[in-house]
Amino acid sequence: MIITNALVVSPDRDEPVAASIAVDGGKITAVGDVTGEARVVHDAGGKLAFPGVVDAHQHWGIYNPLSEDAETESRACAQGGVTSGLTYFRTGQYYLNRSGPYEDMFPDVLAAVQGRAHVDYGFHVAPILRQHIDEIPLLVERHGVTSFKIFMFYGGHGLHGSSDDQAKFLMTPPDEPYNIAHFEFVMRGIEATRRRFPELADRISLSLHCETAEIMRAYTDQVMRERTDRGLRAYSDARPPHSEGLAVTIASYLAHETGLPTINLLHLSSAKAFEAAMLMKSTFPHVDFRREVTIGHLLTDVDTAPDNGAKVNPPIRPREDVEALWEHVLAGNVDWVVSDHACCREEVKFGGDRDDVFVGHSGFGGTEYLLPGLVTEGTRRGLSLGRVAALVADNPARRYGLTGKGRIAEGYDADVALVDPRVEWTVRAADSESTQGYTPFEGFDMTAKVTDVFLRGEPILADGAVTGSPRGRYLPRN
């Protein structure tokens, strides 16, 4: 195949360059003034050609069966220009609703997704039990899992904003608390694994959801006791920004103490979270911090989101925090932008009461709006197209060891998303392939549309419609 008449976007330069893209055997063989015959010629019509998006933060199977989400939510991925999705998995409630060793469980995870996904996929894994730390080398060597996660508030605060029975939620035995000491030992286990596999060390990393349970529990009690409002602003106040900042500080010092240099700070949502993250960067220059934000935290705030469907952890914040995030994006302090896609259908999301944010479940989908949303709002604010490509493709691919992903260049997988910057459209949940049925982005006006997407040279989106049978592959990173 040859894609002609494209404006190729590269993370190495601000502006796109007119070029053709030659593809053979699923790989890009040439970019530029391509000559020769091809079985298929696709005229891009002057559209932007982005590298296929690497959405490095998703949650397939959290509220729906994993096999079901793999099919439906990967279709939503294609709508957003996403060709590779990295999804989180842990033991305990939700996901497979099981506990035990990953040696037994992870093959079931792979089997549940195999043959169902429309995009390539990989997994981050959370060591919840003590034995999971011992299994980190096995996950790296046998299954190609090189990225791991800690949910810092799980040991003392509920997923949805209440102080649930955490042992029941995580399915941990009484003698295994999920706390700061556990986080330290996870870090030591990952660093030992990096030393065991030195050729993989740079791509073996730990990601952290940074919120502090004790702060959130106290502020939630205060909000519930003193206020009658039950909307997104109340939820933001119940999980205040300084709880993020404190958790970032704790995580960073533990990284320093354990000698683990590859740390990813996930979905930073506030000015205070970034204040702490940048302070830790200067305090511990030997730690290679990476900083993530979500498209939800960049496009919505507590006043513009249509309803409590925007409940997520950390919360959607007031406008001043949104503006602070954009300042950091434009300053180059953000390493990648993700969706944090977690399909949560209406009947589960709202818990029967749309007006009480504390009743509903946390998380929402949005992978289908990741690339068009960042192009729309980013270019309006002066973000270059090349920087967009770095934020959604190249940077996460490099950090997480997705060799062959993230660039339109010779030798890379032919993952290409064509974007028309001349199309204006309005987000409607009814147009999404996700089974969620609503979206916090409802009514948002976009000025760029993903029209065609190729996965390893094969079309998975054509003229805005998902096409073909599932052909996504598992991406081992060893």
336/324 Cα distance (integer angstroms): 16
pLDDT in tens, 429-455: 999 999 999 999 999 999 999 999 999
Is pLDDT of 47 > 90?
A: yes
Q: How does the average pLDDT of the chain come out, rounded?
A: 96
- What is the per-residue pLDDT for 131? 98
Residue 162's pLDDT is 62
Please state the rounded mean pLDDT for residues 50-70.
Answer: 98
Quick check: 117 and 173 in contact, CB under 8 A? no
Looking up residue 260, the CATH number of its domain turns out to be 3.20.20.140
* Res 36: pLDDT: 80
Answer yes or no: is 17 within a domain. no
Q: Which two structure tokens, joined as six digits, stand for 463?
A: 């003229």
- What DSSP assignment string belongs to 5-42? EEEE--TTSSS-EEEEEEEETTEEEEEES--S--S-EE
Domain for residue 262, yes or no?
Answer: yes
Does 267 map to a domain? yes
CA distances from 458 to 210, 352, 468 (A): 38, 42, 9
Assess if residue 34 is contained within a domain. Answer: no
Alpha carbons 62 and 68: distance in angstroms, whole number = 11
Task: Please report which confidence band the pLDDT of residue 163 belongs to, taking 50, 70 and 90 as the band edges.
Answer: very low
Strand partners, 19: 6
| Mean pLDDT, residues 282-306 | 97
DSSP letters, 135-165, are THHHHHHHH---EEEEETTTTTS-TTSS---
> Is 450 contained in some domain?
no
Q: Per residue in 311-365, pLDDT tens?
A: 999 999 999 999 999 999 999 999 999 999 999 999 899 988 899 999 989 999 9
Which range, of 101-105, 161-165, 205-209, averages the lowest pLDDT?
161-165
pLDDT at residue 317, rounded to an integer: 98
Is residue 227 a contact partner of residue 234, using CB atoms and an 8 Å limit? yes
Q: Quick check: pTM over 0.95?
A: yes
Let me know if residue 38 belongs to a domain. no
Phi, psi of 237 (to 5 degrees): -70, -30
Residue 164 pLDDT: 53
Helix or strand or coil: residue 38? coil
Cβ atoms of 69 and 306 within 8 Å: the answer is no
> What is the reported pLDDT for 167?
66
Domain that holds residue 179: 52-404+425-439
Indicate the pLDDT class of residue 101, thresholds 50, 70 and 90: very high
Give the residue among 266, 291, 299, 267 at the shortest CA–CA distance from 373.
299
Which tens digits make up the pLDDT trace of 219-260? 999 999 999 999 999 999 999 999 999 999 999 999 999 999
Can you read off the two tokens belonging to residue 455?
């996965």
Neighbour-count burial for 289-325, b at 16+ CB within 10 Å, e otherwise: bbbbbbbbbbbbbbebbebbbbbbbbbbbbeebbebb
Domain count, the chain: 1
Q: How do residues 362-392 score in pLDDT, each as one tens digit?
A: 999 999 999 999 999 999 999 999 999 999 9
Mean pLDDT computed over 26-33: 97
Other Cβ atoms within 10 Å of 150 Cβ, number = 24
> Which residue from 448, 453, 447 is spatially nearest to 465, judged by alpha carbons?
453
Q: Can you list the alpha helix ranges (DSSP code H) found in 381-462?
A: 385-389, 395-399
Is residue 285 in some structural domain? yes
Mean pLDDT, to the nearest integer, of 394-412?
98
pLDDT score for 439: 97
Task: Copy the structure tokens of residue 47.
Answer: 């559209």
Among 140-144, 165-169, 219-223, 288-292, name the one with the lowest average pLDDT. Answer: 165-169
Is residue 72 one of the residues assigned to a domain? yes
Residue 148 CA to residue 127 CA, distance in Å, equals 7
Collapsed DSSP state (helix, strand, coil) of residue 299? helix
| Residue whose tokens read 């070029």 | 19
